[in-house]
Amino acid sequence: MKTIYLDNNATTQVAPEVLEEMMPYFHESYGNPSSAHTFGGQVGRNIREARESAAEFLGVDPEEILFTSCGSESDNAAIRSAIESNPDKRHIVTSRVEHPAVKSFCEHLTHNGYRVTEIPVDKDGNLDMAAYKESLTPDTAIVSIMWGNNETGVIFPVEQLAALAGDRGILFHSDGVQVAGKIPINMKNSPVDMLSLTGHKLHAPKGVGMLYIRKGVPFAPFIIGGHQEMGRRGGTENTAGIIGLGKACQLALANMEDENTRVKGLRDKLEREILSRVPKTYVNGGRSERIPNTSNISFEFVEGEAILLQMDAYGICASSGSACTSGSLQPSHVLRAMGVPFTMAHGSIRFSLSIYNTAEEIDFVVETMPPIIEKLRALSPFWEEKPKSCGADKMPF
Amino acid sequence: MKTIYLDNNATTQVAPEVLEEMMPYFHESYGNPSSAHTFGGQVGRNIREARESAAEFLGVDPEEILFTSCGSESDNAAIRSAIESNPDKRHIVTSRVEHPAVKSFCEHLTHNGYRVTEIPVDKDGNLDMAAYKESLTPDTAIVSIMWGNNETGVIFPVEQLAALAGDRGILFHSDGVQVAGKIPINMKNSPVDMLSLTGHKLHAPKGVGMLYIRKGVPFAPFIIGGHQEMGRRGGTENTAGIIGLGKACQLALANMEDENTRVKGLRDKLEREILSRVPKTYVNGGRSERIPNTSNISFEFVEGEAILLQMDAYGICASSGSACTSGSLQPSHVLRAMGVPFTMAHGSIRFSLSIYNTAEEIDFVVETMPPIIEKLRALSPFWEEKPKSCGADKMPF
């Protein structure tokens, strides 16, 4: 059975061009980039080239790029650095819809004497700007607010948020993991101080990420050890991963137009067709500015995990909530923050496309989804030909 | 020109069997192990198998293995966890010859109110056991002492050290990066609480490491985010790296005998021949128990970097001091701790072999080194046919 992979916000396949670029660094050019000999030194030069590609991708200088092991490390490192660099400040501002790498880390810090303000969002997933402005205080060490939401694709006005923080002398970090390669990003002259990205959402391998740190922003290393990464991260460099990420950055620039025209067109068609064929379906965040590959659709009165299981039988891969929080019986914290009723939040499916998806795949999904939902609704105690009114307090889950 | 790679303590080549095992996880089985669909779920099962291989390698249970991004992360994570788990204790014991991932991290902690005792070593690189016993106090949160030294290969009596700490209720961590695959390690019934390993010293790729955490030992996550690694490390798993590390653990078990007979024989021959052919050469730590692949040889009155450059011209890769600390003009902190005079410390070369080295390679190195040293000594102001007496205070570097 062919796999139709519509779960690219969870992770992506490594691009063939990326893999080809990485291959020599496992078994041939395997030297340590810190070594004095030519065999290792050449690898050091190749890492510098990858850093240049990553910098070009963001419109910044190579020395503003720190390679890490993943987006979560980048997020943790940015926030920890900000609070270490501002030892007298005890307040952090974030949003209610962050990825666990920011959300859980901030929660952890509340046990260490920090106050955390989580800015709410409205039913369309947009940030409460008045609450945001009010939250910024002289005690605020850092704002960490994501650029694009992993579950809904809703884009926050990060440049504007960062400028407001910057005006008050507050560091601004953004988790840009989901926007990289999907919307144009140029950090040159941007007020954003730090930006987290990860390779595996960008057709580079898992196990490599990066953190942009604007020149002049103080940075306290997260992993402390050797002199690697200009003294900003100890540990032998993940050379193959870094080389792969450099190539992926080049490809992402080249594929940006396809992402925003053809891929967006496929996403829009998927959404349009499902909404027209399946009653009682809603697009979460659908009225907001979104990244072009993501659609979060709620199928009322059915359970997301049950939908996924049925889709799986057809080889269609997607997510219910965020893959990173699977295993939890709670509906997604993002949809709860948007006030999506439990009946809908529990039946939400995130479709996330990539440049490798085809029109034929989307046609197949569009044909397959309606009978799946119909079948599941026939089993639901809350669904009749005309659905019963049902409050969240009456939900069985 | 053929490369003769004798720098395996800096990093190793990925074994062909390891690479073969990893390959599907880039472009075919690229799903997120946390995903609900079969495509991702299968990867989760493969990670469990890798964890089983890693556990078997150490004689422990799979749930005692935490996968990380490198040895440095493992080291930082172990020490930070111990101090977070013992918030009232403010003392750390380590040695003077640790890798920067322990040494620099502990130094960093002194700025945060921690006292650090660095246990000295004698001229053979052996730990001062009396000083060690005296160092352990009720205020000691953790002992972190390496198992085998990266520069000299000298092995510390870690089981004994851990038992002494354990008797006093003190957590014991060891950086085992350099011993893994070189000496048999069985952590079952061991008093060691935490042990750091890394893939890239073990013929797995760079960018993946692991931390053994004995059952019952409290652990506070270092990277906080999603539920991955049983809630002990946030961040999408480096699946290809982890699968590779699992395979490398299997191979290391299978190759242990070759490492301790043939490889050790090559190392011993290299040492014996160089010492007999080149006057004024000494093996640092040579009288101590050492890992079987490492030889640290001091060539008096010549500069290590100059030797490396000459060796490089013949395609021979080795290190002067630790590759991780290159870029520094200071001689190795390990050799300084052993009291090796500057004239010798600066002229030290670390040869570190692997199972991929051959007798022919060692023969070539043995023939090549004497004329290199002779040539360099002819240029040295401190070397005459009969070398001048020269104190460290008269050194030009």
Same domain as B141, residue B98:
yes
Give the Cα separation of A18 and B289 in Å (integer).
Answer: 44
Give the pLDDT band of residue A384 (cuts 50, 70, 90): confident
Residue B396 lies in a domain: no
Same domain as A273, residue A224:
no
Where residue B42 sits, what CATH number does that domain have?
Answer: 3.40.640.10
Same domain as B291, residue B230:
no
Give the pLDDT band of residue A160 (cuts 50, 70, 90): very high
Give the Cα separation of A374 and A363 in Å (integer).
Answer: 18
Contact A323 B35 (CB under 8 A): yes
Which of A102, A324, A325 should one mutate to test binding to chain B, selecting the residue with the greatest count of B CBs within 10 A? Answer: A324
Is-catalytic flag, A324?
A: yes
Residue A392 lies in a domain: no
The three-state DSSP-derived secondary structure of chain B is CCCEECECCCCCCCCHHHHHHHCHHHHCCCCCCCCCCHHHHHHHHHHHHHHHHHHHHHCCCHHHEEEECCHHHHHHHHHHHHHHHCCCCCEEEEECCCCHHHHHHHHHHHCCCCEEEEECECCCCCECHHHHHHHCCCCEEEEECCCECCCCCEECCHHHHHHHHHHCCCEEEEECCCCCCCCCCCCCCCCCCEEEEEHHHCCCCCCCEEEEECCCCCCCCCCCCCCHHHHCCCCCCCHHHHHHHHHHHHHHHHHHHHHHHHHHHHHHHHHHHHHHHCCCEEECCCCCCECCCEEEEEECCCCHHHHHHHHHHCCEECECCCHHHCCCCCCCHHHHHCCCCHHHHCCEEEEECCCCCCHHHHHHHHHHHHHHHHHHHHHCCCCCCCCCCCCHHHCCC
Same domain as B262, residue B215:
no
Q: What is the ipTM of this complex?
A: 0.94
Give the Cα separation of B239 and B245 in Å (integer).
Answer: 10
Q: What is the pLDDT of residue B386?
A: 56
Residue B226 lies in a domain: yes
Which of A37, A210, A352 should one mutate to test binding to chain B, selecting the residue with the greatest count of B CBs within 10 A? Answer: A37
Same domain as B322, residue B226:
no
Same domain as A260, residue A114:
no
Range of the domain at B47: 16-252
Residue A138 lies in a domain: yes
Q: What is the pLDDT of residue A328?
A: 58
Give the pLDDT band of residue A387 (cuts 50, 70, 90): low
pLDDT exceeds cutoff 90 at A232? yes
Q: Which helix (H) or strand (E) covers residue A373, if one does?
A: helix A359-379
Q: What is the pLDDT of residue A9?
A: 97
Q: Domains in chain A: how many in total?
A: 2
Give the pLDDT band of residue A269 (cuts 50, 70, 90): very high
Q: What is the pLDDT of residue A94?
A: 98
Cβ contacts of B34 on chain A, cutoff 8 Å: 10, 323-324, 326-327
Cβ contacts of B237 on chain A, cutoff 8 Å: 206
Which of A2, A5, A11 should one mutate to test binding to chain B, selecting the residue with the greatest count of B CBs within 10 A? Answer: A11
B54-92 pLDDT, tens digit each: 999 999 999 999 999 999 999 999 999 999 999 999 999
Mean pLDDT of chain A: 94
Same domain as A218, residue A290:
no
Contact B239 A70 (CB under 8 A): no
Residue written as token pair 């010492």: B275
Cβ contacts of B40 on chain A, cutoff 8 Å: 7, 10-11, 317, 323
Contact B224 A105 (CB under 8 A): yes
A318-345 pLDDT, tens digit each: 999 644 445 556 789 999 999 999 889 9
Residue A384 lies in a domain: no
A76-92 pLDDT, tens digit each: 999 999 999 999 999 99
Same domain as A224, residue A283:
no
Catalytic residue among A106, A249, A324, A390: A324
Residue B390 lies in a domain: no
Give the Cα separation of A28 and A137 in Å (integer).
Answer: 53
Contact B237 A7 (CB under 8 A): no
Q: What is the pLDDT of residue A329?
A: 64
Same domain as A344, residue A236:
no
Q: What is the pLDDT of residue B293?
A: 98
Where residue B294 sits, what CATH number does that domain have?
Answer: 3.90.1150.10
Q: What is the pLDDT of residue A136?
A: 98
Q: Which helix (H) or strand (E) covers residue A144, if one does?
A: strand A140-144
Q: What is the pLDDT of residue A395?
A: 32
* A-B C-beta contacts closer than 8 Å: 265
Cβ contacts of A36 on chain B, cutoff 8 Å: 305, 308-309, 312, 319-320, 323, 326
Which amino acid type is present at position B396? Answer: P
Closest chain A residue to the Cα of B223, Cα to Cα: A73
Distance from CA of A225 to the nearest CA of B (A): 4
Task: Mention every residue, 6+ apart, whose C-beta is less than 8 A from residue A384.
Answer: none
Cβ contacts of B226 on chain A, cutoff 8 Å: 72, 100-101, 104, 324-325
Residue written as token pair 């052919």: B277
Mean pLDDT per 10-residue section of chain B, whose length is 397 residues? 96 98 97 93 96 98 98 98 97 98 97 97 98 98 98 98 98 98 96 98 98 97 94 97 98 96 98 97 98 97 93 96 55 94 92 98 98 94 62 35
